[in-house]
Structure 1
């Protein structure tokens, strides 16, 4: 029996469309072992000749099978079976910065909302433009959907613009390749400034406000700009440091950790010196996650809700409508300032 024979069985079911004949026939052929991994599907011309269907109908069915991760097209060679996981609705490529704790919370919520019928392959670019470009080029055309946390850069915008708008969702950083592209992103500048403003009465009790940002940080520049504007507008004495060491840690200073590496180092030294957070020194952290709720009595953070962002991303993948959202940021005051 051939795949065409299997498809012909579905032609007897008049309540199905020709598109469904093709998709269901090929899936059944995979399940029954008529088609194995690496087998080539009949060419478009062969299918037209055998079945009498329009080329557009056959191409549409093959493309749906591609979106489900069952089929891959090879230029000038045709379509090939690449997976027998027919119970999967779609294969999703998820490209993130790195597996930091808050991004894991995004992934866990995304995975949980999608359910088991979606396969997710995770990739990381580590804020490296070359890695970002190579990863996108390597995965392009191999997945049914792409969820990407981009690097804000003209090259990244151009790369994302080469993907179909209905198969791409941009998350976290705001990069929009065109009006039809979907995004669920953060706004960093105004939100950071406004959250610092809420903390102003507490900030004024400290002699110096220190923001830690390392040399190759992925912290958006708008956060740094907001910090500097806040200092200037409200006559707060502050500095930006690229490195942390024990000599910087002093009583009556407030420290804003832009990443968890800085935070853990500061907390360790505060513990060693028996400094009380919110009294002897202040600590503010960027990007919240569950550990910051409990460590050292709780760390005050400025953050979006990454779990909610993950849920919204999954709903977009399942729903298919255009989504264009800027997620709110929150000040979570746990008393460490």
Structure 2
């Protein structure tokens, strides 16, 4: 009797365990669909072939807020990366600048590493991948936030929202890159294309130093067409450190791998930015002075016409009452009643 009871109990436990396991699998993708496994289209595969790449090659994703675009770059057989496709971003939250804290409705900026564990096939927003915020840089600065995604549905609350068709293709490209043996891909998020002209336009921004920091990684990719190795030290990004060991985010920075061309460009851009920023400052001061002078002239004109109006009103008001002008009473002559 006891043995039979425990056998039945064991069977029930096994059935419950199987049911829970099966339920978890069936809920891995909301609604039980297979959208995360939809193959790449023939046109995408052919497009990759035409540029000397393939679905299994590495990829880099770049986001530009001001331009509202997401770029997918793919590695080629020659080793360099080439731009495969540009996708329009439907919406992102907040303004230009990094995210600081949970609930500020600000989309992040910086360099992030996307691993298979950050892919989200069961997103309520069709498909998604997590940006990995907060990364090492964000954490050392005490920044907070969670579930910052690149997803579909064209709706954003701190995320980057794509069309469903767009995120479906981006997701599939990432999936195939992982299947090809790549353990991660790099996500680079910028406020705008990091030119000195764009930086000069925002020279008074409190984020300028941060933007100049991540600009080095942008320039490296632009020059070499390969993603930089990034880490954090002295509470700032460092690109292509000489060693391979992880760095203390608040500790001293080591030497970097020498790249004379990049160093020369950074120095030239720094000087160019200083010149453009100074020119922008002078232009802004001149514009402010002109606006102040125009406002002053306008006030003077208004006062002038206001004075004329008061004078005219006084003149016409005095003619209606002559006695008011002299302060005396005028006596009119009385007509005579005698005949001559």
Give the TM-score band, short-chain normalised.
under 0.3
**Larger Rg computed on CA atoms:** 2
Pick the structure with more strand per residue. 1
TM-score by length of 1: 0.22
